Structure 1
Amino acid sequence: MVTVSPRRRREIIDALRRGTVPQRGLDVMAVGLDRFQATIDEELTTVTESGGVFKAVRGEYGSGKTFFARWLTETAKQRGFATAEVQISETETPLHKLETIYRRITENLSTEAIPASAFREVIDGWFRVLEEDAVDSGADPSTPGELEQRTDELLEQRLAAVSRTAPAFAAALRGYHSALREGETATADGLVAWLGGQPSVAASVRRAAGVRGDIDHFAAFGFLQGLLAVLRDSDYAGLVLVLDEVETLQRVRSDVREKSLNALRQLLDEVDAGRFPGLYVLVTGTPAFFEGTQGVQRLPPLASRISVDFSGDPRWDNPRAPQIRLLGFQQDGLIELGRRVREIYASDSSAADRIESLIDDGYLSRLSQSIAGQLGGRVGIAPRVFLRKLVDILDRIEQFPDFTPEDAETVQVAPTELNEDERAASGLDAIEIDV
């Protein structure tokens, strides 16, 4: 029996009801990911020990790339990591503009304790650690001047390494600390926004810390190093960065695509060279992106680094390879996923007995076959719709004591319930022409 807290149950069920991947609780839904667990644990340990990892995961739509990424980040948070998920898009988050990538990292930074927008809390936590270390080194907390002096000394020591690569990051941290100490809230707010890569911070705020302009493409890597140093000194295990939907690069102008692929290669090389200790980068994309002429193959140095031969039996895929593949759900996996959702729902439901009686494994099997059949027999693209339908049925059983679910084979999927990718993958968008 799957057991989760009422809060996690609510978060999981609410997300599935909306047709989205839950942000939390994915460990209890991780069907088919057991074969990756040991390798992920090894790689996270490497990052904890100041190493760096770059990993690519490929799969068709519905194979579970987003689920895998969320499962990885949740696993990492439980081990003391901070995480950030960045959706690559041509207009809002182009991959070749590293300053935008850095800004999205700080905007989406999360920890086990803070699910979203944790950047300022991480910075403030770093200063709290400095003060605690100052006390541990002999500073008297009852004497403000002595504590401030020792904290400033530790501040300079900790920032020494950051200053060598990102002097502006270190200068802004000093300015932020001074503004907080002097009660200049507006200046402190502006400086922490500038540290997070936000544009259009007032010049007067930047002058207070002795920095100029906005963070540009060339400074972004240095600021990422600074963030990693702050996380490390704040007792975080590191940062897991997910770059999701990089296959969108195939649809941009050729010059933008070339710049983006080169930025990805540069990031991989910097991780491999040890410039980003404590960073785990996960890139997700479709097989067409990794193998097609409009994707990774256009940049041979990048292709040679992450390409893997997937022509063999999937059972012998190497989880330690720089690129891994997700094969999507088969019928048995979809039924198992439905079984777990049923148990999560029933774990805190007033209608648990009716749920177990009405939605047995046989019903789940028939429902999954019916949904997949309406999607052109493509089981791999059925999970989202299948789970949404299942939760709707469970909701009705719980709310209406006289409700009896219809035969699973008669449950219909309306075209409006499918998103663009599901319609395309199922072939339902095809137009028949009479000749």
Structure 2
Amino acid sequence: LGGQPHVAASARRTAGVRGDLDHFGALGFLQGLLTVLRDSGHTGLFVVLDEVETLQRVRSDARDKALNALRQLIDEVHSGRFPGLYLVITGTPAFYDGQQGVQRLAPLAQRLATDFTTDPRFDNPRAVQIRLPGFNQKSLVGLGLTIRDLYADAAEMPERVRKVVDDGYVADLALAVGGALGGKVGVAPRLFLKKLVGDVLDRVDQFDDFDPRQHYRLTVAGSELTDVERNLAATVSGDSASADDIDLEL
């Protein structure tokens, strides 16, 4: 009963469930959930369908069915059937622009069509589709400061967190993490936030005498990196491989 396509009748009888839940029923349940949330005093529901580009790797019939479901969901939201629902669908440019993604279903492509040939500085944040620029040093530091402030709000000693992990230290840590990845700031956010929260903020909050400038040195182990991050780190350490490093038996 956790979303499996096939559930034994005996299990359904035990749970008191009758019949199958199709996409029509699922949308009805979503509508009911929004009503419950509204009557409970909540503003609404924020739903994120993340990494939908994975649809490009499924069978063509399943992909077409999923794309049509997205089209239907978008139409239902636009018609006002789900008041209080904020829907976000994330995917790569290849999914939105490629022939194996949104462009495969013309009605869906028409609904999501957005002109990105203009200057990115003037992108319309109200458009149906928004492009996300990569991180630079300034935006990475801004992200770190936001996370620091959110952490401090719930910390046992919020003022100490803000004082010890000040803006200057957050900027220094962001620069160090980016440097460990060959200066490629665009792939650094995951590792940067992991180090900031797990290695610095948690310790500042738990240990009164912990000062990250004195007691912490950034270390990056290969086991905690993704493949992309590991390749970038190798260019910094000088361990990157080249064609000359491959032994060929002739």
Question: Could you tell me the TM-score, scaled by structure 2's length?
Answer: 0.72
**Cα–Cα, structure 1 residues 200 and 423, in superposed 2: closer, same or farther, change >3 Å?**
farther
Tell me the distance in 2 between the aligned counterparts of 1:399 and 1:312. Answer: 50
Contact (CA 8 Å) 1:245, 1:284: kept in 2 or not? yes
Tell me the distance in 2 between the aligned counterparts of 1:402 and 1:351. Answer: 14
> Which of 157, 160, 167 lines up with 1:349 in the alignment?
157
SS in structure 1 of the partner of residue 243 of structure 2: coil
Tell me the distance in 2 between the aligned counterparts of 1:362 and 1:234. Answer: 43
Indicate yes or no: 2:242 matched with 1:432. Answer: yes
Contact (CA 8 Å) 1:371, 1:412: kept in 2 or not? no
Amino acid at match of 1:387: L
Contact (CA 8 Å) 1:393, 1:405: kept in 2 or not? no
Amino acid at match of 2:133: L
SS in structure 2 of the partner of residue 281 of structure 1: strand
> Which of 397, 410, 413 lines up with 2:220 in the alignment?
413
- For structure 1, the residue ranges without an aligned partner over 5 or more in a row are 1-91, 101-198, 207-211
> Which of 173, 181, 200 lines up with 1:375 in the alignment?
181
Contact (CA 8 Å) 2:49, 2:90: kept in 1 or not? yes
Q: Which position in structure 2 is the counterpart of 1:333?
A: 139
Tell me the distance in 1 between the aligned counterparts of 2:138 and 2:56. Answer: 33
Amino acid at match of 1:287: P
What is the deviation of 1:287?
Answer: 2.0
- Show the 5 A alignment for 1:17-56: none
- Show the 5 A alignment for 1:132-281: 200-202=11-13, 205=16, 212-232=18-38, 236-281=42-87
Contact (CA 8 Å) 2:50, 2:91: kept in 1 or not? yes
> Which of 192, 198, 214 lines up with 1:386 in the alignment?
192
Partner deviation per Cα, 1:15-59 (whole Å, 9 max, x = no partner): xxxxxxxxxxxxxxxxxxxxxxxxxxxxxxxxxxxxxxxxxxxxx
What is the deviation of 1:204?
Answer: 9.1
What is the deviation of 1:411?
Answer: 2.6
Contact (CA 8 Å) 1:296, 1:303: kept in 2 or not? yes
**Cα–Cα, structure 1 residues 280 and 404, in superposed 2: closer, same or farther, change >3 Å?**
closer
Amino acid at match of 2:81: R
Tell me the distance in 2 between the aligned counterparts of 1:388 and 1:255. Answer: 39
Contact (CA 8 Å) 2:180, 2:233: kept in 1 or not? no
Q: Which position in structure 1 is the counterpart of 2:207?
A: 399
Moved more, 321-330 or 258-267: 321-330
**Cα–Cα, structure 1 residues 402 and 276, in superposed 2: closer, same or farther, change >3 Å?**
closer
- Aligned CA RMSD, in angstroms, stands at 3.9
Q: Which structure has more RCO (C-alpha within 8 Å, separation ≥ 6)? A: 1
Instruction: Report the identity percentage.
Output: 52
Tell me the distance in 1 between the aligned counterparts of 2:117 and 2:96. Answer: 14
Amino acid at match of 1:201: R
**Cα–Cα, structure 1 residues 375 and 299, in superposed 2: closer, same or farther, change >3 Å?**
farther
SS in structure 2 of the partner of residue 285 of structure 1: coil
**Cα–Cα, structure 1 residues 427 and 312, in superposed 2: closer, same or farther, change >3 Å?**
farther
Amino acid at match of 2:48: V
Tell me the distance in 1 between the aligned counterparts of 2:158 and 2:32. Answer: 50
Q: Which position in structure 2 is the counterpart of 1:284?
A: 90
Question: Could you tell me the TM-score, scaled by structure 1's length?
Answer: 0.45
Tell me the distance in 1 between the aligned counterparts of 2:15 and 2:142. Answer: 59
Contact (CA 8 Å) 1:288, 1:295: kept in 2 or not? yes
Amino acid at match of 1:217: H
SS in structure 1 of the partner of residue 48 of structure 2: strand
- For structure 2, the residue ranges without an aligned partner over 5 or more in a row are none
Partner deviation per Cα, 1:176-216 (whole Å, 9 max, x = no partner): xxxxxxxxxxxxxxxxxxxxxxx94217945xxxxx42223
Q: Which position in structure 2 is the counterpart of 1:319?
A: 125
**Cα–Cα, structure 1 residues 375 and 201, in superposed 2: closer, same or farther, change >3 Å?**
same
Contact (CA 8 Å) 1:371, 1:385: kept in 2 or not? yes
What is the deviation of 1:304?
Answer: 1.2
Moved more, 314-323 or 230-239: 230-239
Partner deviation per Cα, 1:395-416 (whole Å, 9 max, x = no partner): 45563737664699x7332221
Amino acid at match of 2:178: A
What is the deviation of 1:269?
Answer: 1.9
